[in-house]
Structure 1
């Protein structure tokens, strides 16, 4: 199961948004009915949306981290502490809790971005600003901290 692509979505007044049909079909084909949405521990500007089995593996890995590590505890608090289980309704919509929408600043327009095993959910304006920042930084920005595996991929 892989999720790819970017889709612009509308968020209604109650915080509901529709999962795009291609992703909904992919979830159904893999018998996934439950999703988990949580915050991104590296960016306050987006939410992460996982199929339940993928999230459960991530949660297991996070809970195995040492409790004496401040960074591990912070990541656990953010990822696990904000995790909210969701189900798609009969029309393929999911209801985002107000606390999570507020955390990521998600308003009436959003982008759902496939990231392989999960999705990122961004407010439209935050995504546009992030994209503009990446354009300004240029292609080599951050190359100094790129893992060797990334440097060995030919795009």
Structure 2
């Protein structure tokens, strides 16, 4: 399970350190792709297979399902961790998430996310006030 919040810088070559706690749960090769809300999603190889199976169940005759599948899978890239614990992110994903220098890697149960630090700080500040109400609404779900 991925959990916690870690702050690392991305360098000019698109390399970022994957926290040791996350590396322990990843095999040598794992997947990073476009996420929602302007971040990147990272999955272990095992979890990626599960996610892929769920997305494959979307009805291909629905435009939104086709668009989501195309954008989600076309951006997916297999990544490897180097000897310094870094991963090299493709420039298209760096651009998508607006990663400039300061980044936040957050654990979200079965995946981790990579955020631009300013974007993450804004997101959490805006969402924090609604946390109790969101939890209450989800209980009805």
Q: Could you tell me which residue of structure 2 aligns to residue 125 of structure 1?
A: 118
Q: Could you tell me which residue of structure 2 aligns to residue 90 of structure 1?
A: 83
- TM-score, scaled relative to structure 1: 0.82
**Structure 2: distance between partners of 1:3 and 1:113:** 8
**Structure 1: distance between partners of 2:71 and 2:136:** 27
Q: Could you tell me which residue of structure 1 aligns to residue 107 of structure 2?
A: 114
Deviation per residue, 1:106-134 (Å, 9 max, x gap): 11110000111110110001001111211
CA displacement at 1:143 relative to structure 2: 5.2
Q: Which runs of 5+ in 1 are unaligned?
A: 150-155
Aligned residues: 141
Q: Could you tell me which residue of structure 1 aligns to residue 22 of structure 2?
A: 23
CA displacement at 1:139 relative to structure 2: 3.0
Specify the SS of the correspondent of 1:59: helix
**Structure 2: distance between partners of 1:33 and 1:141:** 36
Q: Could you tell me which residue of structure 1 aligns to residue 140 of structure 2?
A: 148
- TM-score, scaled relative to structure 2: 0.89
Specify the SS of the correspondent of 1:140: helix
**Structure 1: distance between partners of 2:124 and 2:50:** 30
Alignment partner for residue 35 of structure 1, among 16, 23, 30?
A: 30
Q: 1:23 to 1:138 in 2, by over 3 A?
A: closer
CA displacement at 1:101 relative to structure 2: 0.8
Q: 1:66 to 1:107 in 2, by over 3 A?
A: same
Q: 1:142 to 1:77 in 2, by over 3 A?
A: farther
**Structure 1: distance between partners of 2:82 and 2:3:** 22
Specify the SS of the correspondent of 1:9: strand
